[in-house]
Amino acid sequence: MQQATGKIIDYFEQINRIPRCSKQEQRIRQWLQKWAAKRGLATNVDTVGNLVIQVPATPGFGPAPTVVLQGHMDMVCEKHADSDHDFSTDPIRMVQDGEWLTAVDTTLGADNGIALALSLALVDDPDVGHPDLELFFTVDEETGLTGAMQMDPSLLRGRILVNLDSEDEGVFVVGCAGGRTTTITLTLDEQDLGNDDVILKVTATGMRGGHSGVDIAKHRANANTIVGRLLGAGLTAGPVRIVDIDGGTANNVIPRMCQAYIACSRTHVTAVKQAMDNCAQEIRGEFHRTEPDMTIHIEEEKAAKGDRRRVSQHDTAKIAHLLLALPSGPVEMELDDPMQVSTSVNLAVLTMQSGQLVVTSSQRAAIPSRLDAICRTIEAMGHLCGAEVHTSVGYPSWPMNSASRLLQQCKTVYQDLFGVEPIVQIMHAGLECGVIGDRCPGMDMISLGPTLQNPHSPSERLHLPSVEKIWRLLVGLLASYDR
């Protein structure tokens, strides 16, 4: 088994040499097609770039249904602020630390490169017996499951699907939340800086960030929310005006950094800075256990003002009130499981461009009507401040199928192998299973995977012993179809 794990990690390393940020999957798809061609395996690609590799059953394998092994080709490209890594050209540099695999200054890409590596290693191992397989690798999963949303259903003939995009070994995911993204665009009244204006640079950084679904209830600080609170504190001490604000990187990432520039008169600068410093101290106290590396700086900028303009006092207040009102974090917990998030919001991205503030908020909910409700709440906040508001169509939830034969088969194999029962749960994150099941009726699905911590952040790490256990489970599951 250790030899198999080595082969998996070798494939993973090869995959990590290929740039594959969302919407830039062409090179990894071509590499996978070449891999398939060397083995005489047929491939199909639909119009949006999703790839299927057809793998015939191993010789002597009895009649059995086709099994689909599924993952996505893209990855979230996050790095430390001081890193010079270029995701369009540079390979991910992997480092082993005991039982864990991580990357230098960037996301590791195990979400979801390890799914590709597992699938290729299974096909390459002559000792692994299996029925007909379809390796189904999608594009652009991380920016809204758009590859799956636009997939050609005729790509797949199999109706048994194992999604390899879950992140806790020993946990079988059988359902997931749906999600939508709301964009709030506020047109701003900008004015020239006054002769007496002082520029304060406000920076919140060093947060852990993470996946805006699976990590949303871990009391991690949202840098955008923090800067909103600091701005609100400054307004209580004197007139301030926003010059610029920028925070967050993607809809599905808890923001790790936000930076704002504000203008205030020399008369009020001491009081404004003191009010913001007091607020920063309170915030550090709230998060001292979960965000030990958080840093908040409020400092006077010494550089020339250049051609900067400031937002009017009225619109600065609008921005502050909007950021203070918008929720970010768990909104509602499951009634039957108070430890499980049912509805959540991530205040994901803030930018100022061309005289407009653009706020991106990401909502998730297990119940469709609750997703509708929380989206309407976010929309109402945008409308109240006079902004233009747009909510995406989003992706559907995946309801649990309690009669799933695949689930029962996986549970049996797992218990036979490891002597314990797996945990069965619904995940508070978007999984492609919901979309694929909607596009391909009659699909029996499960999601599983090795243990992965802190995805969507440079702290992402993969637990190597769990990779071996998932390998054994997949080998046992595929072999079970020959019984």
What's the rounded Cα separation, in Å, for the pair 104 and 83?
9
Q: Which of the following is catalytic: 78, 141, 215, 468?
A: 141
Please check whether residue 434 is in contact with residue 365, taking contact to mean a CB–CB distance below 8 angstroms.
Answer: no
How far are the Cα atoms of 223, 339, 352 from residue 398, in angstroms, in the given order? 30, 19, 36
Q: Which of the following is catalytic: 74, 132, 134, 215?
A: 74
Which residues, in sequence order, are CB contacts of 317 under 8 Å at separation 6+? 235
93: left (phi over 0), alpha (psi -120 to 50) or beta: beta
Q: Is 74 a catalytic residue?
A: yes
How far are the Cα atoms of 16, 94, 135, 302, 468 from residue 9, in angstroms, in the given order? 10, 10, 18, 49, 10
Beta strands in 178-257 (DSSP E): 178-187, 190-192, 197-205, 240-247
What are the structure tokens assigned to 26, written together? Answer: 């062409």
Q: What is the DSSP letter of 157?
A: -
Pairing of strands 258-265, 190-192: unpaired
Alpha helices in 419-463 (DSSP H): 432-439
Count Cβ neighbours within 10 Å for each residue of 160-187 and write b for 16 or more, e otherwise. bbbbbbbbbbbbbbbbbbbbbbbbbebe
Query: Cβ atoms within 10 A of the Cβ of 439, count?
Result: 17
Catalytic residue positions, numbered: 74, 141
